[in-house]
Each structure stands twice: as C-alpha cells, then as structure tokens.
Structure 1
C-alpha cells in the first residue's frame, strides 16, 4: 500500500512539472503577438497620414485647377531621386506650375517609391514612374486618372539633363502629359525634333548626370526595359 501511495505521489509531481513546461504562458499568445504587431505599425501609419494631402480623386476635368491651388501652398522646387547607382538631384521650374505641383504631390504621396526607371535608351532618354508591381496600379487608382495640360509657353528646348512629362502616346495633338511618368533627356540636341514644343520640360538635373548615363547604358530587353529593375524613391529638398 505504501509503495502504491509513493508511486502515485511521484506521478502527480512529474505530471505537474510537465504541464508547467508546456504552458502557453511561457510564450506570447496569438492575441499578444497581434497586439505587438499593431503597436509596431502605428508610427509608420502616422507618418503616412502626415504626408497625405487629401486631394480629391483627380480627373482630367479638375486636375489643372486643383494642382494650381495645391502648388501655391507647396512651393518646393528641388528634389532628389535615389537609386542603387547613386542620386540624381533636380531643379523644378516655377513657370510650369501644373507639372511642378503634380510632381511635388506625387512625391509627398509616396507614389514613386518602388517604381522604376523602366525605359532606358542610350544617348537619348531614361524614363521613370512605372513598374510591373501591382502596388503601382493601386496607387494610381487611388490618386486619379488624369493628364496634365501642356505648359510650353517658355519655349524651352530639350538639352542634356532636362526633365519632361511623358505621354501615353506620341501622336497627341493637345500635347498633354501623362501624370505619373517623366523622362530625363541625355541625347544630342539633333535628336529633339519630335520633342521640342510637344513635351513639357518642367525641370533640370543639377547633379548626378553620371548616374543618368550609367542607367541609360544598362542592358535592356527589346522593349527598352532594363533587364534588372532600377528601383527609385524621390525626396523633396526644399
């Protein structure tokens, strides 16, 4: 009888120790992990909310007027494009107020983050603002479907380092720019016959043309898309 009681007592103690080792209290619960995840994401969410300008969904009917108003309270004229090959600094022109304001707006909304220099043509242009990521289309769907009216009054001509609005298609009688893409010209001026007075020039590279040259000469496929994606992000300087 004593042997039986001793055996039961030892079994009970051992069972309690095993239970303690396997207790969920020793590891974070699913609810705890969920709470920790929420806490970690809050600062990022607040930062995004701060930079969101809450413009209405832009359409071609309202884009010009809305952006002109936006530009009056967002006067930045300098920006930096960051790539793995180096930085490219830009000066945005005040006398193309719609294009300048649109560029500033897209930067502040984080549109360009994780887009690419998606077209590279040696001795001609590099073009940016698109990608094959689903996130890019989601951003466009949120911000609007619109083009920008041409701003050609200055009579500027394309030269090395000028920044221009791209187009959805070349034969565009109203010369409107696509809202989300731009290109940097680096080719000889003799290659500008189909560009001058048809594509709005709204800025100029002030530093980093060596980076532009590097990107322009990257291996590309038949569609002029680099074989290795050239990711970009853009920040405003002032």
Structure 2
C-alpha cells in the first residue's frame, strides 16, 4: 500500500472520530432538560391534587357521611340570627342530627350572612336562606349541591315558632329537604297540615316578636318582600 493511500485512510478515520465526538457533545445537555421538564410535570400534578382537597364540595354521594361525622361531637345547638329588623335565637333539636348539623355547618361557613327572608306569607311563615344577588349563588357553588333526607317522625309538630326545612321542588318525589333554606311558622297555634311533609328541626326560643315583625312586611309577586329583609349575621352561641 502506498504512503499516499495510508495517509488518505488515516485522515478519513480521524474525521470520522471527530464527527462522533462532536455529536456526543451536542446530545449531553438535553438530558437535564428532560429531567427538569419531568420535575415540572410532577409539581403541577401535586398542586392539582392539593387543590382538589382544598375544593371539597358536598354532593348527593358524600353529604350524609359528612354530616354523620360532623354531628358526632357537636354540642352546640343554638344560633342567633341578626336581621335588618332585629335579632332572634333558635334552638336546634339534638335528635334531628343531619338537619341540625347542616344548619350549624352553614352558619359557621358564613353562608346565611347576607341572605334574605325571600318568602313571607302573612300569618303563616317567613322563609329565609336565599337571595336575589350573585353572592349567594357563589356560596352555594363553593359548598356544593346536595339534599337532605326528610326526618319527620321524631314527634315534632309545626307549632308556632317551629324552625323547619322546605323540600326541593325540582324532581323530588321523596320530599328531600333543601339544605340552604329554612322557614319559621308564625301561625297560632301552628300549621299542622305541614306535619309529615317537612322536617321540624328547631324552634325560636327568644325574639319571636322580631319574627312576627318580619311577617308583617309588604310583599309583592311570589311573596317576596317589597323591601329586602336581610340576615346580616348568623352565629352559633352557647
């Protein structure tokens, strides 16, 4: 083999080795970039899981279990409602556990604050827990969508001053209770035709004159007061 032939082959071999070395050098920095990308994905997944925990909402599947656990050690049974027309106190029945727990829970969550007595029927009831503004709908959206089973067989009747829970009117053949609203009987001595269809879960023990005052306001279409009657503050008391 001639010298020129050997030299040519040597040059080709060197160029090949140099090319391989350069290709390897280019690929190395890509590895940590892939790892960083994976770390970012993991971080996003963890954040999403934490967010799901923080955004727990009540629904038809978890509400009964939630309120069953919530009422186990629940000792409080009185709530003070301060309205734009005065304040009154209700006492909740201990043996109507789901409805009691629901009312205490919503009170502690601040749900009732800023809602209204949106339906008033003179000499019959005042009904509260709803509103004509968007804030109440937002509160319900955060808390969840659920109903409560009726509990009308504990012997309580709809006497005057009784706190009871209306039934949802949407696809509800079993008269499941609408948890965000309540009504108070004003009728003397009571409205006993409601017994068996709705769940009494407490009674007014102080400030019934305020309830009567609210019951006398002028109403318009749909029994909605012409001037809004607000629940300014609901608070659990000893």
- What stretches of structure 2 of length at least 5 have no aligned partner? 1-53
The 8 Å contact of residues 158 and 191 in structure 2, kept in 1 or not, is answered as: no
Quote the Cα distance in structure 2 between the aligned partners of 1:228 and 1:139. Answer: 23
Quote the Cα distance in structure 2 between the aligned partners of 1:190 and 1:99. Answer: 21
Deviation at residue 76 of structure 1 after TM alignment:
1.2
The residue that corresponds to 1:75 in the other structure is: 75
SS in 1 for 2:156: coil
The residue that corresponds to 2:180 in the other structure is: 180
Question: Are 1:127 and 2:120 counterparts?
Answer: no
Q: If the length of structure 1 is used for normalisation, what is the TM-score? A: 0.73
Q: Aligned Cα RMSD in Å? A: 1.8
- What stretches of structure 1 of length at least 5 have no aligned partner? 1-53
Deviation at residue 171 of structure 1 after TM alignment:
8.7
Quote the Cα distance in structure 2 between the aligned partners of 1:84 and 1:57. Answer: 30
How many pairs are equivalent?
184
Distance 1:106 1:221, change over 3 A: same
The residue that corresponds to 1:100 in the other structure is: 100
The 8 Å contact of residues 74 and 104 in structure 1, kept in 2 or not, is answered as: no
Question: Are 1:59 and 2:63 counterparts?
Answer: no
Quote the Cα distance in structure 2 between the aligned partners of 1:171 and 1:57. Answer: 21
Quote the Cα distance in structure 2 between the aligned partners of 1:228 and 1:63. Answer: 35
Q: If the length of structure 2 is used for normalisation, what is the TM-score? A: 0.73
Quote the Cα distance in structure 1 between the aligned partners of 2:83 and 2:108. Answer: 18
Quote the Cα distance in structure 1 between the aligned partners of 2:109 and 2:62. Answer: 19
SS in 1 for 2:175: coil
